[in-house]
Every structure is written in structure tokens, then in C-alpha cells.
Amino acid sequence: MSQTGLAPRKAAVDMLNAVLEEGKLLSEVPTAKLSVPEAARAQRLAVETLRWMGRADRLLGRYLRKMPPVPVMNILRLGVYEICQEGEASHGVVNSAVELVHKGKKTGHLKGLVNATLRKVATDGPGLWPTLAVPELPKWLRKPLIADYTKPVIKDMEQVFMNGAPLDLTPKDGNAEALAVRLGGEVLSSGSVRLQSPGQVSKLPGFVEGDWWVQDAAAAMPVKLLAPKEGESVLDMCAAPGGKTMQMAAAGAKVTALDQSERRMQRVAENLKRTGLSANLVVGDALEHIGVGYDAILLDAPCTATGTIRRHPDLPYAKDGSDFPYLFELQERMIDHALSLLNPGGRLVFCTCSLLPDEGEIQIEDAMKRHGDLQILAPDAPWIEETWKSGEGGLRLRPDYWGEIGGMDGFYMAHLSRS
């Protein structure tokens, strides 16, 4: 690539530095002042470099005696990804990398190293690249997940993480077959429509008209499990960005969407406006919410988001597990408060986009001990596969399920009722 690609490359490296040096998620990194196409390219380069980082580091280990400073290493990783995975012309990649190192503070003296290393990568890398191992999760996360799921299962998940995620859509009218025909997609057994190569989402037919919204297939299942009925009073307890709110509104329920972030709730409002659906939007702390009794509540609780790594490969590098105990305790409090807001005989679906049993099976087992009148409603519907069912009565979804067509987010969900 020519030097015209320097700006998005620099932005991508800045993003990598923020994740790997400062522990920030990509969503927390300020957007560089770039054109829309350049910003999109920078974001994609950062995401994909993180996705393939384990393989890039293995390749670079053949040529480096010791690891250079992180900002220089990130420039090298980006170069390796572009040459070996994207197939970019090596001349432009190497020149841009050298220029980035030259302009960096305290890194200019390493431009010779970067130049020599990437030229070796350009010669040997494309042939070696496919033979290198699938990138593994960082040890702090991989070790406990192996204990919970076994090593072969985690290796299958890592394969899915490396491959990335297709685009799943939820049709507003529920007619997945018609939407799939319209967009050239595949109807999943759960009723979502999957597109493998969608292109720019906002230019797809039906986006402006609000005929559908983007929502991972697994993320759409908690509302299907809750099965809200027309006219029911329903609370979406942690609503942003609004996919589940729209599902329940489309089903005819009277939805109250609650979220503590005014900025994120604005996104819910925008999504509702685009789709022509309505809900009562409330900005506030879920633990302080006092409302009339609800017939049903959807609690998609704040969690570690470890089930979303195939879409957010920055997560295992930005986190280290230190905040996990706080999240576990918060989920417990939110379950208890949600139950207090239910009408007699009301229903609650608790869910998290997590792979950790502490945020799923264990939370429900503990809730059952705290509340003697609580029962789990057995998950029984045509879209539910037997392998998803967990011992305590919930559903455990894993990224490697449907792995041959792109997998799904890791999720846990349980349907509860108070007598």
C-alpha cells in the first residue's frame, strides 16, 4: 500500500498500543480524526491484528532476538498481518512501517530493525503463515476455561475466534425466510438470518426502512426464551444497545427499557426510531429502579463478555480478570432486585454473554438457594438444541456451536418464575 495509507495505519497502531499498553478496550479508545473510510480501515486493521496476534508473534519470533518496545512490536504485528493474511504488497507495507517507527517518540533508531524484519517476513511469511498454530487465548483466561470446558473444547473455540464472526440479523416481522431471500442470507434454526459477507451494513436493503437490526443469533435467544406476550408489561433491565428491547416491542409487549448510560440509551432511541418500534426509555441505575410490577423481566446483566471474543478480540488483552469478582457480586444483587419487581407468577430471564460458570450456572444455583419460591422453567422449544441444555435447567451456548458456519457468541440464560 502507498503512503496514502499511513494515516489509518498509524491510527490502528495507536489503538493497539491503547489495548496492549493501557488495558483499554477498543470501544474506549478515542476515534482518530480520519475520513469515514479511513476510520473504518483503521478499526478493522486493529481488530484483525489482535485476532491474529498469536500467529504474528510466532512468525516474528523467528527473526527477533528479543522483543522490541511494545509500540514497535505492534507496528511489526500490523505489518505481518497485512503481508501474510491480507496479502498486501510488501513494498508499501514495509515503507509505511518504517515511516511509523521513524516518526515515533524514542523509536526512530529501530527503523532498521523494522525494515529488515518485515523484508524477511515478506520473503518467508506468506508460505509459513498457514502452517502456524491457531492463536491461543492469553493464559490468564485460557487456563480457567480449560478447567471448565476441557482443552479440546477451548481449541475449538479458539478456531472460531480466529475465523471471526459473520453478521446475524433479527427481522422485525419475524419472517426470516423472506429476509434471507432478500439479502442472500441463511436462515438459522433459531430464526436469525446470517450473512457471511455482508459489506457495509447501512447500505443493505431494509436497513433504512428498519426492517431488521444487527444482533448475534445467541444474543437474540434470551427474548425467545422469555417469549413475551402481546400486552404484557416487560422490563429490559440493562437495555442498551436495544436489540432485546426491539424484539420484545415487536412482539407487542409494553416495554420499559432501562439503562444507566444516557449516551447508550440515545442509541436505543435511535434504533427504535429507525425500526418504528416504541418503548418507555428510562435512564437510571437498575439497582435503584422502582416500577410497577412487571409480568416479565429480561436481565442481560453486566458481565465479563468473555463469550464475545470472536467479535471483540481486544477483550482478553485489555482485561486480566481483576474486576471479575465485582461483576459476580453485582449480578447477584441485580437478580435479587429484579425478582422484587416481578408480579406474582411473573417470569425472569437472566442472561450473560459470558463463558464463565460464575456468571451463569453458579449464579442460578445460588439464586435458587436464596429464594425458596424460585423455580426454573425448563427450556423447551423447537429452536433449542439438546446439547445447549445445562444441568441446573438453563442454556449454555458456546462459540464453537455452529462452528462450521461461523459459530455464535458464548451465552448463558435461564428462565425463572416465582410462585
Catalytic residues: 353
HSE at residue 290, side-chain half, CA atoms within 13 A, is 1
Inter-residue contact 415 to 338 (CB < 8 Å): no
DSSP 3-state assignment of 405?
helix
- Paired sense of beta strands 374-376 and 411-418, if any: antiparallel
- Paired sense of beta strands 280-283 and 254-259, if any: parallel
> To 5 degrees, how large is the angle CA 301–CA 215–CA 152?
75
Q: Rounded to an integer, what distance in angstroms lies between the CA atom of residue 78 and that of residue 323? A: 29
The phi and psi torsions of 347 (rounded to 5 degrees) equal -120, 145
List CB contacts of 407: < 8 A, sequence separation 6 or more.
Answer: 160, 163, 165, 310, 399, 400, 401
Q: In the chain, what is the greatest distance between 2 CA atoms, to the nearest angstrom?
A: 72
List CB contacts of 60: < 8 A, sequence separation 6 or more.
Answer: 73, 76, 77, 80, 117, 121
Q: Which residue has the cell 500500500?
A: 1
Q: Which residue has the cell 493501557?
A: 22
H/E run at residue 395:
strand 395-397
Looking at 203-319, list the stretches that DSSP marks H as alpha helix, in order from N- to C-terminal side.
217-226, 243-250, 262-275, 315-318
